[in-house]
Amino acid sequence: MIEIRHLYKQYDNTNVVEDLSLDINKGEVLGFLGPNGAGKSTTMKMITGFIEPTSGKIKIKNLSIKDNSLEVKKYIGYLPEGAPQYGEMTTYDFLVFVAKIRGIHKNQLSEAISMVVENLSLHDVLNKRIEHLSKGFKRRVGIAQAIIHDPEILIMDEPTDGLDPNQKYDVRELIKKISKDKTIIISTHILEEVEAVCTRAAIIAKGKLLFDDTPKILKESGSGNLDNIFRQITMRSSS
Amino acid sequence: MKNIIIIFNRELLSYFSTPIAYVFLVIFLLLSGSLTFYMGGFYERGQADLLPFFSFHPWLYLFLVPAISMKLWAEERKSGTIELILTLPVKVSEVVIGKYLAAWFFISLALLLTFPIWITVNYLGEPDNGAIISGYLGSLLMSGGFLAIGSCMSSITQNQVIAFIISVVVCFIFLLSGTNLVLDFFNTWLPQGAVDAIASLSFLSHFSSLSKGVIDLRDFIYYAALIGFWLYINIELVNIKKGG
What's the average model confidence in pLDDT over A14-31? 90
In terms of DSSP bridges, do strands A200-205 and A183-188 run parallel, antiparallel, or are they unpaired? Answer: unpaired
pLDDT at A238 over 60: no
Residue type, A29: V
pLDDT in tens, B174-222: 888 877 777 788 888 888 888 888 777 888 888 888 888 888 888 889 9
Q: Does the CB of A128 have a partner CB in chain B at under 8 Å?
A: no
pLDDT tops 90 at residue A12: no
The pLDDT, as a whole number, for residue A237 is: 63
Whether A145 sits inside 8 A of B84 (CB atoms) is yes
A-chain residues near B89 (CB < 8 A): 70-71, 73-74, 101-103
Residue of A nearest to B79 (CA): A84
Distance set, CA B240 to CA A222, B20, B236 (Å): 44, 29, 6
What's the total number of domains in chain A?
1
Tell me what pLDDT residue A164 has: 86
**CB of B170 closer than 8 Å to CB of B153:** yes
Is the per-residue pLDDT at B78 higher than 60? yes
Average pLDDT over chain B, rounded to whole? Answer: 90
The mean pLDDT of A153-164, rounded to a whole number, is: 89
Q: Would you place residue B86 in the very low, low, confident or very high pLDDT band (cuts 50, 70, 90)?
A: very high
pLDDT at A137 over 80: yes
Query: What b/e sequence results for B202-228 when a residue is b if at least 16 CB atoms lie within 10 Å of its CB, and e otherwise?
Result: bbbebbbebbebeeeeebeebbeebbe
Residue A149 pLDDT more than 90? yes
pTM, two decimal places: 0.91
Three-class secondary structure of residue B38 per DSSP:
helix
Q: Are B126 and B48 in contact (CB under 8 A)?
A: yes
What are the domain boundaries of chain B? 2-240
Kindly tell me the sign of the dihedral angle through the C-alpha atoms of A10, A12, A14, A16.
negative
Task: Average the pLDDT over A213-235 and give the result.
Answer: 78
- Inter-chain contact A80–B80, Cβ cutoff 8 Å? yes
Which pLDDT score is estimated for B42?
A: 80
**Amino acid (one-letter) located at B68:** I
Give the structural domain span for A21.
Answer: 2-238
Q: Does the beta carbon of A91 lie under 8 angstroms from any beta carbon of chain B?
A: no
Q: Does A169 touch chain B (CB under 8 A)?
A: no
CATH number of the domain that residue A163 is part of = 3.40.50.300
Q: Which residues pair with A155 in a beta bridge?
A: A78, A185
Work out the pLDDT band at A111, boundaries 50, 70, 90: very high
Q: State the pLDDT confidence band at A98, using cuts at 50, 70 and 90.
A: very high
- Residues of chain B with pLDDT > 90, as a percent, come to 59
pLDDT at B40 over 70: yes
Residue of chain A minimizing CA distance to B242: A51
A50·B83 Cβ contact <8 A = yes
Q: Where are the beta strands (DSSP E) in A106-166?
A: 153-157
pLDDT of residue A110: 92
What is the pLDDT of chain A when averaged over all its residues? 89
Question: pLDDT per residue over A164-220, tens digit each?
Answer: 888 888 888 888 888 888 999 999 888 888 888 899 999 888 888 888 888 888 877
- Within 8 A of A101 by CB-CB distance, chain B residues are 3, 6-7, 88-90
Residue A134 contacts by C-beta under 8 Å, 6 or more apart in sequence? none
Predicted confidence at residue B243, as pLDDT, reads 58
Cα–Cα distance, B59 to B56 (Å, whole number):
5
pLDDT at B76 over 90: yes
Phi, psi of A2 (to 5 degrees): -120, 130
Collapsing DSSP to helix, strand or coil, B2 comes out as helix
Instruction: Give me the pLDDT at residue B154, please.
Output: 96
Query: What is the spatial distance between Cα B104 and Cα B87, in angstroms, rounded to a whole number?
Result: 25
Q: What is the mean pLDDT of residues A157-164?
A: 86
Query: What's the pLDDT tens digit per position in A42-96?
Result: 999 999 999 999 999 999 999 998 888 899 999 999 999 989 999 999 999 999 9
Contact B88 A98 (CB under 8 A): yes
